[in-house]
């Protein structure tokens, strides 16, 4: 009798979703991106372990897909190439997103050196624009670049300065309608160098303009074009780079619609 009653007993219902817990906070698990208080060597070790954990298999995946896509394992038909090409593009986008995510973590965990070398901002910005122009020509967009007559200099790491400018400009490209112009300007204001990147896209409501620099923030409206997205990780990384080198970044409404993203960096002596 007792055995049958136990057999017929219904299992307890699982707790509501709001009551479930991912991990016991009294245990040894720690929120990954809240890992701030440990020694620098512990943070570097965690960063290295995390990087290897996710990057190694993804790099292998991209390599194998590329191997197949280029026909090294045998000639592929068009019916095979099309889905494989889409898989290749998706893997590369994932790889790019992971790289930016790890860069954001490096800043949040204090693993980026504050030291910088003098950089000619006129030449550096012009170089970045030349690289991006090859891409925007295929998007039926154009870039208008205005530089000051005298070179402006700031102290930065060229890797991070490139990331800062590239993320802001490519974000403008992604939201710009075809046949529009992206206006980029560099000028001096007191002890600061200022960059402005203005697009003619759908714009961002004033209340959301600071929010777009938060990690994983996305702003997409029903009437936006398919590529009309703001936020994600790129602008979050840009904000960290600007702050790290003594500057800041913010967004303003464009004079003819769209959005202007402004970057301010300190000039070095003689700049």
| pLDDT range class, residue 169, cuts 50, 70, 90 | very high
Q: Do 75 and 129 lie in a common domain?
A: no
Q: Do 245 and 156 lie in a common domain?
A: yes
Q: Do 142 and 254 lie in a common domain?
A: yes
Q: Domain count for the chain, please give it.
A: 2
271, part of any domain: no
Mean pLDDT of 78-98: 88
Predicted pLDDT at 19: 35
| pLDDT range class, residue 14, cuts 50, 70, 90 | very low
Q: In whole angstroms, how far apart are CA 78 and each of 66, 85, 174, 268? A: 16, 10, 29, 55
- Which range has the worst mean pLDDT, 56-70, 114-128, 224-238? 224-238
Q: Sheet of 259-266: strands edge to edge?
A: 142-146, 181-189, 192-198, 259-266, 248-253
Q: In whole angstroms, how far apart are CA 53 and each of 33, 98, 180, 191, 215? A: 16, 12, 42, 43, 21
In this predicted structure, the answer to whether residue 217 has a pLDDT above a threshold of 60 is yes
Regarding beta strands 248-253 and 259-266, do their DSSP bridges make them parallel or antiparallel, or are they unpaired?
Answer: antiparallel
Domain hosting residue 12, numbered range: 1-111
CATH of the domain at 257: 3.30.565.10
d(CA 198, CA 173): 10
Q: Do 107 and 129 lie in a common domain?
A: no
d(CA 173, CA 200): 10
| pLDDT range class, residue 16, cuts 50, 70, 90 | very low
93 by Cβ neighbours in 10 Å (0-12 / 13-18 / 19+) ranks as exposed
Mean pLDDT of 191-208: 90
| pLDDT range class, residue 225, cuts 50, 70, 90 | very low
Mean pLDDT of 9-37: 42
Q: Do 174 and 127 lie in a common domain?
A: yes
Query: Of 249, 269, 38, 89, nearest to 160 (Cα)?
Result: 249
Predicted pLDDT at 51: 86
For residue 90, the SS3 value is helix
The whole-chain average pLDDT of the chain stands at 80
The answer to whether 230 and 171 have CB atoms below 8 angstroms apart is yes
d(CA 199, CA 183): 7
Query: Of 195, 198, 200, nearest to 126 (Cα)?
Result: 195
Indicate the helix (H) or strand (E) that contains 24. Answer: none
- Which range has the worst mean pLDDT, 40-44, 62-66, 226-230, 247-251? 226-230
Q: Do 49 and 121 lie in a common domain?
A: no
Q: Do 94 and 121 lie in a common domain?
A: no
What is the four-CA torsion angle of 153, 121, 96, 209, rounded to 10 degrees? 90
Q: Do 133 and 170 lie in a common domain?
A: yes
Final residue of a domain: which of 111, 132, 166? 111
| pLDDT range class, residue 245, cuts 50, 70, 90 | very high
d(CA 219, CA 208): 8
Pairwise pLDDT comparison (102 vs 138), residue with the higher score:
102
The answer to whether 142 and 181 have CB atoms below 8 angstroms apart is yes
147, part of any domain: yes
Query: Of 103, 56, 260, nearest to 172 (Cα)?
Result: 260
Q: Do 106 and 136 lie in a common domain?
A: no
């Amino acid at each position: 009798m007792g055995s049958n009653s136990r057999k017929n007993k219904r299992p307890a219902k699982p707790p509501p979703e709001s009551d479930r817990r991912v991990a016991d906070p009294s245990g040894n698990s720690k929120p990954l991106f809240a890992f701030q208080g440990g020694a620098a060597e512990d943070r570097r070790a965690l960063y290295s372990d995390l990087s290897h954990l996710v990057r190694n298999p993804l790099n292998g995946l991209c390599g194998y897909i590329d191997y197949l896509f280029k026909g090294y394992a045998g000639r592929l038909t068009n019916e095979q190439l099309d889905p494989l090409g889409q898989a290749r593009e998706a893997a590369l986008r994932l790889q790019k997103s992971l790289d930016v995510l790890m860069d954001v973590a490096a800043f949040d965990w204090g693993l980026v050196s504050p030291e910088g070398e003098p950089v000619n901002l006129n030449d550096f910005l012009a170089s970045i624009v030349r690289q991006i122009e090859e891409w925007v020509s295929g998007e039926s967009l154009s870039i208008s670049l205005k530089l000051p007559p005298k070179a402006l200099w700031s102290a930065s790491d060229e890797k991070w300065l490139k990331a800062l400018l590239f993320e802001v400009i490519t974000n403008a490209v992604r939201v710009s309608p075809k046949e529009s112009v992206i206006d980029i300007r560099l000028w001096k204001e007191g002890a600061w160098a200022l960059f402005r990147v203005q697009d003619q896209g759908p714009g961002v409501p004033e209340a959301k303009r600071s929010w777009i620099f938060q990690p994983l923030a996305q702003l997409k409206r029903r009437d936006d074009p398919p590529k009309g997205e703001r936020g994600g990780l790129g602008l979050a990384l840009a904000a960290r780079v600007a702050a790290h080198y003594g500057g800041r970044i913010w967004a303003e409404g464009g004079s003819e619609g769209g959005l202007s993203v402004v970057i301010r960096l300190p000039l070095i002596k003689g700049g």
